[in-house]
Each structure stands twice: as structure tokens, then as C-alpha cells.
A = this chain, B = another copy of it.
């Protein structure tokens, strides 16, 4: 039988800091929270006492007394947690983290499947976090609205589909798709297809719309559309389908680099040279793009910036700032490589 020794956490308490600094707990608290009405002398004394004792305030006590959590949640709403492997997610995560460092705010990572939404909402409702970042929303997921209803500030990464007005930050997917199409047109291609992303995500729809507009400008038919989710396999299937329907296809805009991987495989297998026979433009400018064969021309989106911006927006709201933009669109840019 192991005796689990229940004992107090080590380390000094605010009390000891106060004693060493020769002031009261209140004053120490004021210094820690950077409040006014503390003399320079007291402030210094407290600071030296803190560094001397290596004092670090107890987060739980702060949360309890201050009735705020000093933490935000990053909620990944995905069936299989597949997104986690996505460079997109990694970039967002890095951005969020970058924006959080220095502030005393922790990042709780929560994965949630629709079945678990009730639990999640209940959990978040009782004040465990001060706000939430939502990533990888599908379709008309009610989660963001439910979180808003319980009064939790929320910012989505990627435009949420469906009604309601959830603040979001997204890349300018429409312009990205448009640029891709224009680029292919400028190359003299005339049978331009697209492998679009899933219809239940704005990223899929908006990139498709941009592509449509681009072909429209050039008075080209926008009939060659296939759909894929964010896997190479589905991309392969989509490209096969496209080739069957239009053997003369000479260009394709693919809604994500990872999908383009499958597209390239099929093109290769079917004896089509890239870019000579078929030009390919991807989306994301992930690591995959530069290492693909041939290296992929792609639409770059700055996912890390997306993470930073989401966090900035959320923290702004938490700080009670006003004049915050409800939503933000981040620019994309075309990166030319060998495939188009």
C-alpha cells in the first residue's frame, strides 16, 4: 500500500513575500497585478523579495479569488482528431502560443467530437477558461453559438458556416482561389479543373468560388469540379475522376497541398507530365509543397499569423477593448515553383 502523502505544494506563499518585503499581502498582490497606488520603494522591495524567494503565485487561488481562469481553450472540433497531424493546425498552434507568451495565460487543448459537445459546453460554462479558440469547424456546427450563449468569448479560425455571427479570422481563400485561377489562365491553359475542398468548410467553398470567378473572368467554363477532403487518397480519386471526364484537362487548382499529393500521384501514374501536360497549383504552401515532385506552385497562407490574430482578437475581447473588428481576413499570395 503506497502512502500518498497529501501535502501542501512547496514554495513560498504571498504571506512570506510580504514579510520579507516588510509590507502586507495586499501590497504584494498590488505589485503582482501591476496596480497603481504602490510606492516605488514598496514595489522594489516586493520585487526583490519575489525573485529572492522564487515566488510564483498559485494559479488556482488567483482564479478562485479573481473569478477568472487565466486560461483559454483551443478547441479542435474534429471527428478523428485527424487535424492534429495537419501542418495547418501546427501553424495555428504555434501562432497562438507565440501570442500568449509573456502574458500569464495558459493554453488548454481540448479535442471535441460532436457527441461530446454537451460535456464540453457544461465544462466551459463553469468558468474553467476565459475564452475559447475554435479550429476546424465543420458545416453548421452549433458549438460556437452554444458557447456564445453561455457568455464565453469565442473566436473561430476559419469562417464558420451557418447562421449567427461568430467572430472569426480566416485566410482570404476567395482571393487565393482567384489568384490560382488567374495564374493558370495566364499560363495559357484553357481546360482548367479544380479539386475542391469539402463543401462543409468555408475554406473549401471560398477557394472554389475564387477559382470560379477566375475562370469566369477569362470566359472559360468552370465545369470541371471534383471534391476531396484533406487526404491524398481522396485527391487521387478526384483526379482520376477528372481525367476520366476530361482527358484534355491541362491544369488543375487543388484546394490543399496535401490533396495535391494524391493528384500528382495519379497524374504521374496516368503518364501526364507536370507541368507540361497538366499544370498544378496547390494551396497552403506547407512543407509538402516544396518537397513534392515536382515542387508545387501553391497559394501561401500564413497559418501562424492566423493563430496569432485569433488570439489577439480573443485577448482583446477579454480585456474589454472596443472597436475590435468582428472578423478578419488575412492575405494570401501565390508561390511559384515547378508545377505551374
Contact = CB atoms under 8 A, between A and B. Distances in A.
Interface of A: 2-4, 6-11, 54-61, 63-64, 67, 69, 74, 81, 84-87, 89-91, 93-94, 97-98, 106-111, 122-123, 125-128, 150-151, 232, 258, 261-262, 264-265, 268, 287-288, 290-291, 293, 319-322
28 contacts: A2-B322, A7-B67, A9-B67, A9-B127, A10-B127, A10-B150, A11-B125, A11-B127, A54-B125, A55-B126, A59-B69, A59-B126, A59-B128, A60-B60, A60-B64, A60-B127, A61-B64, A81-B98, A84-B90, A97-B109, A107-B110, A108-B108, A108-B109, A109-B109, A258-B287, A261-B291, A265-B291, A265-B293
A13 B287 CA distance: 49
Contacts of A150: 10
Given A106-B108, A122-B56, A321 B11 contact: no
Contacts of A106: 108, 128
Nearest to A87: B85
A90 B64 CA distance: 33
A130 to B, nearest CB: 10
B125 A111 contact: no
Nearest to A85: B90
A64 B58 contact: yes
Contacts of A74: 109
B10 A57 contact: no
Contacts of A264: 293
A194 to B, nearest CB: 20
A9 B93 contact: no
A320 B107 contact: no
Contacts of A128: 58-60, 106
Contacts of A108: 106-109
Contact of A10 (B87, B97, B110, B125): B125
A319 B1 CA distance: 12
A43 B70 CA distance: 33
Contacts of A81: 94, 97-98
A245 to B, nearest CB: 24
Contacts of A6: 67
Question: Could you say which of A107, A264, A291 has the most chain B C-beta atoms within 10 Å of its C-beta?
Answer: A291
Given A60-B61, A265-B293, 19 more contacts: A2-B320, A2-B322, A7-B67, A9-B126, A11-B126, A11-B127, A57-B126, A58-B126, A59-B63, A59-B126, A59-B128, A60-B63, A85-B91, A89-B90, A90-B90, A93-B109, A107-B110, A108-B108, A262-B291
